[in-house]
């Protein structure tokens, strides 16, 4: 099979590429390296057994000709290319909306033209300010005010969902929609806000851990390999098109507890520093206080079950960040 992965040099995309290469498939990656990195896929490219089956295009998904050729060539498409990370979105508001809305429309248009099955990655952000748990695919969507620009990301991802559903209805496009909850693991950078790589780096450097707000906000974290298993199983499922699926873990933890677990796991001398939101982010930021998925639907459909617990996830991230630091002793990794 030929698999196209947009955003394939990114954190999740590169793990997905690895999975399909290991299975014997050909993988085509398109990535503009805005948040992805060649270092994520270089080891795959050099791999003696499957490196020759990986084809990398450094380009934007907005480039019609490149996307036309790649979509025509491949059998299935995973669309992961997007502006990601709260810090990135707030710094690049227009670019983020453009890539997340026009970019996704381009991918869907071409998949419809060539009749290729496509899986798009939306986000748990679309659940907005809900405080209840668990969040179910059929819940109403409630964002905050438009003065809080964080919600532009959620709005753009929701637009992607509706565009995919519209193609499904009007063209019969086999589009599968996933809402990814916080995904973590090796290769994730803390540069754009992601809490676990950030706090792990701080702990390894024995610097104070920056916990925003009062630290009582919660998240659930899922290991990237578990998420990738869910994505590939959905792609292989003949009964998933035109539907939305949460993908995430169910072990809820406050960010304060997370920081303590990280200090323990790294045997760090760091302390925890509570930083008010207005000092941590631009003032047009608003946090989500709670975010726990219901994974009933995807469990019922494909038997999805995350198997990696938080301690194991933390160990993997710590090992990865340690290796990175040893390789680049003078460089800040977050």
Q: Give the catalytic positions in this structure.
A: 153
Near ligand UDP by CB under 6 A: residue from 143, 212, 223, 304: 212
Is position 152 an interface residue for ligand UDP (rule: CB under 6 A)? Answer: no
Is position 232 an interface residue for ligand UDP (rule: CB under 6 A)? Answer: no
CA-to-CA distance for 94 and 96, rounded, in angstroms?
5
Is position 176 an interface residue for ligand UDP (rule: CB under 6 A)? Answer: no
CA-to-CA distance for 2 and 28, rounded, in angstroms?
7
The DSSP secondary structure of 161-229, one letter per residue, reads: HHHHHHHHHHH---EEEEEE--EE-TT--STTS-HHHHHHHHHHTTPPEEEETTS--EEE-EEHHHHHH
DSSP 293: B
Residue 43: Cβ within 10 Å count:
12
Site string for ligand UDP, 279-318 (x = CB under 6 A): --------x-------------------------------
Is position 56 an interface residue for ligand UDP (rule: CB under 6 A)? Answer: no
CA-to-CA distance for 288 and 292, rounded, in angstroms?
11
Size of the site for ligand UDP (CB under 6 A): 13
Candidate ranges 89-97, 156-164, 212-220, 228-236; the one touching ligand UDP (CB under 6 A): 212-220
Residues 70-89 that bind ligand UDP (CB under 6 A): 86
Candidate ranges 8-16, 47-55, 68-76, 191-199; the one touching ligand UDP (CB under 6 A): 191-199
Helix 104-114 / helix 64-73 crossing angle, nearest 10 deg: 40
Binding footprint of ligand UDP on the chain (CB under 6 A): 86, 182, 193-195, 198, 210-212, 217, 219, 255, 287
């Amino acid at each position: 099979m030929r698999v196209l992965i947009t955003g394939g040099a990114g954190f999740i995309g590169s793990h997905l590429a690895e999975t399909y290469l290991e299975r014997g498939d050909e993988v085509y990656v398109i990535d503009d390296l805005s948040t992805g990195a060649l270092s994520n896929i270089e080891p795959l490219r050099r791999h003696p057994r499957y490196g020759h089956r990986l084809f990398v295009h450094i380009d934007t998904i907005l480039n019609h000709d490149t996307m036309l050729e790649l979509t025509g060539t491949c059998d299935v498409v995973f669309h992961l290319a997007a502006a990601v990370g709260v810090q990135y979105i707030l710094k690049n508001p227009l670019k983020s909306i453009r890539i997340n809305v026009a970019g996704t429309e381009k991918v869907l248009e071409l998949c419809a033209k060539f009749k290729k099955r496509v899986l798009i990655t939306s986000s748990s952000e679309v659940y907005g300010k809900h405080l209840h748990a668990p969040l179910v695919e059929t819940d109403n969507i409630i964002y905050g005010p438009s003065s809080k620009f964080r919600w532009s990301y959620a709005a753009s991802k929701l637009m992607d969902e509706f565009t995919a559903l519209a193609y499904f209805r009007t063209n019969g496009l086999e589009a599968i929609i996933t809402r990814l909850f916080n995904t973590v693991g090796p290769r994730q950078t803390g540069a754009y806000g992601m809490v676990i790589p950030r706090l792990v780096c701080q702990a390894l450097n024995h610097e104070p851990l920056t916990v925003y707000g009062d630290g009582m906000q919660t998240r659930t974290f899922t290991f990237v390999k578990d998420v990738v298993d869910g994505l590939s199983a959905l792609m292989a499922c003949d009964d998933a098109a035109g539907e939305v699926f949460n993908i995430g873990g169910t072990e809820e933890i406050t960010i304060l507890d997370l920081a303590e677990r990280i200090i323990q796991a790294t045997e760090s001398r760091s302390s925890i520093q509570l930083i008010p939101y207005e000092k941590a982010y631009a003032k047009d930021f608003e946090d989500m206080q709670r975010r726990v998925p219901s994974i009933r639907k995807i469990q019922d459909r494909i038997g999805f079950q995350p198997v990696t617990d938080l301690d194991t996830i933390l160990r993997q991230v710590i090992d990865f960040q340690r290796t990175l630091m040893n390789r680049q002793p003078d460089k800040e990794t977050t």
